[in-house]
Structure 1
Amino acid sequence: MEINILNCRYSNRSSNNEYDFLLFLKDASSFSFLLDQNHWLDTFGDVNYTFPSSPSIPPQLSLLFKNVDLRLDFNEFSQEIKTRYPQVKNVIRFKNKFNNDIKLVKLELSSSTLREELLIKRKITVGYIVYDIDEYLAPANILICSKCMGLGHFMKQCTQVKSTCRTCDECADDLKLHICSKIEKCIHCGQSHKSNSLRCQVVKSFRSELTRKLLSSNNRSSSSTMNTLNNMSNSNFKYLSSDFPPMPMPQFLPTNPNNTMLIKLDDLLGKITEVNNHLSNLELNLLIERHENLFMKLIVPMFEDLFGLIASQNQDKKGNILDPDLKLKLERYLIQMKKIKEGKYSIN
C-alpha cells in the first residue's frame, strides 16, 4: 500500500516534553488505510505514541442516501447497514435549519474501495427498500485573506504590502492605528457590506465556481473508476449460450385475487337475502319490526359503505378503473341493496 503524505505539522513541545503531530494526506485511500490503527507501527524510533482522538471522516469517504422515510426505526436502519457493510463507521441523518429530521442520510466509510463500488451501483437495498446513492459534497469553504480581503489565499501567502480594512475598504500600514469611517463598502463589488461578507455576489460566484470544479473533478474520478472496473470485468468475458438457458414455463397461472373477493361477496349477499327472507316470515310483528330496523339501519348501510370502499380501491392514481369486471359486480351489489331497501318499505 502506497501512502501519499501531503504535509506534516507538529505542535510546540508541551510541559511533559511531548509533541502532537498532524498528518495531511493526498487521497482518500491513504486516509482510509491509516484510519485503521492496526496498520501503524508500535513505535517510531523506539518512541511510543498514542492517538488522542479519532479523525473525522472526510467527504471523500462519504455517501448520501436519498428519500429515507422519516417514520422508520433509524437505529434498526443503521444497524442493518453496518452489519452488511462493516466498513461503515457512521450513519447520520441530516436536519434542517429548524433542527427537524429530513430524508437525507450520510454514510461515513472507512474504505475508499467500498465507496467506489457503491457509487457504481448507485443503489442499495435496506429493509427490502431500494435507496438511491450519490456522492456527498460538503459545502465549499472560501479562503478570505484577513490582510487584503482577497479570495483564495491565507494571510501568510498574501503579497500585498498594506492591510485593507474590511469595513471601509481603505488601506493602511497598521490597522490598529487606522481610523475607520464605519461606512461599509465591499472591496469586491462596491456594495454596502463588509468585504469578507458571504452575502457578496462576487464571493457567491467564487463559491459556485469552486463547487462546480469540485463536482467536475469528482465526476471525472468516478467515471474513470467505473471505466476501469468495466474494462477489468469485460476483458476476460466470453459469451456462451449454454450459460444462459431459457426460463422454464410456469406450471400454473396465477389466480386473480379479485375472483376470490367476488366469490365471498356473492356468498355474503346470498346470506343477507336469506336473513331478510327469514325476517319477513316471522309471525311476531314486533320482533319482525325490531330485526328489520336493525337490518335496514345498520347492516345494509354498513355493506353499502364496504362496497363503496372496494370500488374506490379499484382505481389508480389517475382515476382509471383497474378491474372492469369487479366494477360491474359492485354496481350490481349496490342495485340489489337498493332493491332490498325498497322491498322493506313496500312491506310496511
Structure 2
Amino acid sequence: MNHSHPFRIKLNDDNYPAQDVTIIKDLNRKCKLNLTYGRMSASHNDKQYLLYCNSTTQFETLLDKSNWPETICNSMYSIDIPRRFPSSYSVVALNIPTQWNVENFCEELKLRYKTIIKGERMFVKGGRPIPRICIDFSSNKELTEILQSKRILLDDDNTAYMIEPYVPPTRILRCYNCQQYDDHIAVRCPNKDKPICFKSGQQHSFNPECQNAVCCAHCKGNHMAGNPNCPQKIATRENKKIQMKAIGQTPTTQTMNSNIWTGDTTRRLFGNATTTQPIILNKVHDNNNDELMKKLDSIENNIQTILKQQAEVNQLINATNIKINNQATEILNINYILNDI
C-alpha cells in the first residue's frame, strides 16, 4: 500500500543532511516504522522533506503527532499532515440537509467516531450544494464498521445516515513528451523527435525555464497540459468511464453512486443512481490551484529532466555505434589490402 500524499517535514534553519536517506534512517531508529521512501522538495526556496508511507500502519501512526520524535537529525522541526487521505479512508454520508453546518455535524459525529479528521460539503458544478458530505478518517478500524453496517450513527442507534464508499478516479495517462492523453507513455512515444512543451503547448525541446505564455496543448486554455480542470481531460475521463462500463470493467457490481476525485482541484465526479449521466461535483479545499500548479511544475520538471538525460544517453550510444561501424569498415578495408598484397 503506497500512500501518494506525503507528510511534509521542515527542519529548523534548513539544516537538512546531505543524503535524503539520513532522515529515513533517523525516523526508523526512533519510531521503529521501517519507512523506506522520502525526498527533498524545494518550491520558491522553501525546502521541505516529503515522507511517504508504505503501509496503513505507518500512515495511521504518523497521523498522531505524539508518535513523532522530539528532533529529526538533531534538529527541531515542524510537520504538515497530508491534506488528502487515501480513498480507503473516506466515505460519503447521504441525505445531509444542505442548510446544516458541516463542521457542527462532524463535531457531533466525532463524539462517537474519534478517528474522524474532517468533513466537507459536496457541490454540483456551478456551486449549488447537495445533501452529501465526504468524511475523512485517520484509521480503517471505525471506517470498516461503518462500511459493514452501511450507515453512520449520530447517536446510539437512534439517528443514523446512510453512507456509500468512496470510489477512486478513473486514471488518465499522459505522455510527458508529446502530451497525448491515454494512448502511450513517454518511453514509447512515437513522436520523440517532436516534443511538445507542457507549459506553452509549443513544439520545442524540454526547457524548464520556458518563457512562452502558458497554453494547454489540448484545449488551448491558459493552463498547462495535464491540469485536472482541462475540459479535454475531463471529457477523456468521461469517455473512458463509458468505455469501461461498456466492457463490464466497473469498479463494483453493486448499485451505488460512484464518487470520484479528480486530484487536488476541488472537483469530484460521481454518478447518480437515478440517472444515467454523471454529475460533476466540486469539493471545497483549503489549498488553491496555485499550490497544485506548483506541485505539478515540480513533478513535470523532474520527469522532463529525466527524459532529457535519457535522450542525451541515446545520442551518445548512437554516436558510439557510428564509430564502431566506421572502425569495422576500416578493418575490412585493411583486410582487403592485405589480401591483395
For normalisation by structure 1, the TM-score amounts to 0.45
Report the structure, 1 or 2, having the larger helix content.
Answer: 1
**Could you say which structure has the greater relative contact order, defined with CA pairs below 8 angstroms and 6 or more residues apart?**
2
TM-score by length of 2: 0.46
